[in-house]
Amino acid sequence: MKILGRVALLGAIATLGMTAASALLAHGDVTPQAVDTTALPEIGETWLEKNPYSGNAKAIEIGQSAYGQNCARCHGLDAESGGIAPDLRYLEAGETGDQWFAERYRHGSSHDGKVYMPPFGDVLGQKAGWAIRAWLETKHEG
């Protein structure tokens, strides 16, 4: 009986270990994926405080794809978070929300030496960031 109990305990530990490992790997490769923004109007190198692509259909299309490739792993499909990162449907609308988005997108977020969001500004660029924000505006919930 003791052997059977130990085997059951080891089996339970192995199952728990595999479950935890798969949960940790569920977000896959988090290497930023390039975003083709050549179809968008040029906006210069200096970061803007307001989204120049708000309501732009092409930017929204590009932003949806860019979000799916770079943001959905943590912020959830269709911007609906599963709890790992903030639910971006509730990001404030308008210029105040644009400024918060640009700050986090450009510089990321870290506290006490832990990176909660990597910076994407220098990697994906301003045009991709504002395209993602334009798409997020279509998902906004008050």
Residue 56 Ramachandran class (φ > 0 left, ψ -120 to 50 alpha, else beta): beta
Q: Is the pLDDT of residue 133 over 60?
A: yes
Q: Which candidate, 18, 14, 47, places its Cα nearest to that of 128?
A: 47
Domain boundaries, the chain: 1-138
Q: Is the dihedral of CA 25, 115, 103, 88 positive or negative?
A: positive
Summarised one tens digit per residue, pLDDT across range 77-131 is 999 998 889 999 999 999 999 999 999 999 999 999 999 999 999 999 999 999 9
Determine what percent of the chain is predicted with pLDDT higher than 70.
Answer: 80
Q: What angle do CA 75, 66, 126 make, to 5 degrees?
A: 100
pLDDT of residue 87: 94
The model's pTM is 0.78
As assigned by CATH, the class of the 1-138 domain is mainly alpha
